[in-house]
Amino acid sequence: MDAQTSIPYPDISRLPDDQAQAVSRLVRLVNELRRRRPDLDRVAVSTETALDRHAAHLLAQHIERLGLPFELMLSPWDGRQFMEGKGHDGLPVTPAAPSPPVTPEAVAARARELRASLGR
């Protein structure tokens, strides 16, 4: 990625460690998105934690101060709403049931079923 598309890291030396790490992660994420899609001039970010929301706010301010031709838009919604919300049909979205653990016995039983279905 060239200097034209890369967002420079802001000064995070005065931030607490967890906040500095969150800002750094977000800069890497945005730079990777811009590397893959150099035509993007804005990215919307939905966050799940106060720490990430603050990091996104700091980065958006940094980008604006630099006058870059790019905008980091902060979603007004908490990202958890997408995981706990309703689907297109208006019904609650339920997470998929966890898969049962894969054991050697389960693999052997499935292999027997497949062989039987193939007539072997």
pLDDT digits (tens, 9 = 90+) for 41-53: 888 888 888 899 9
Angle of the 17-36 helix axis to the 50-66 helix axis, nearest 10: 60
pLDDT of residue 46: 81
User: Which residue in this structure is represented by tokens 């200097």?
Assistant: 3
pTM for this predicted structure? 0.61
CA distances from 86 to 47, 75, 80, 95 (A): 18, 18, 12, 11
Strands (E), the chain: 42-45, 71-74
pLDDT of residue 49: 84
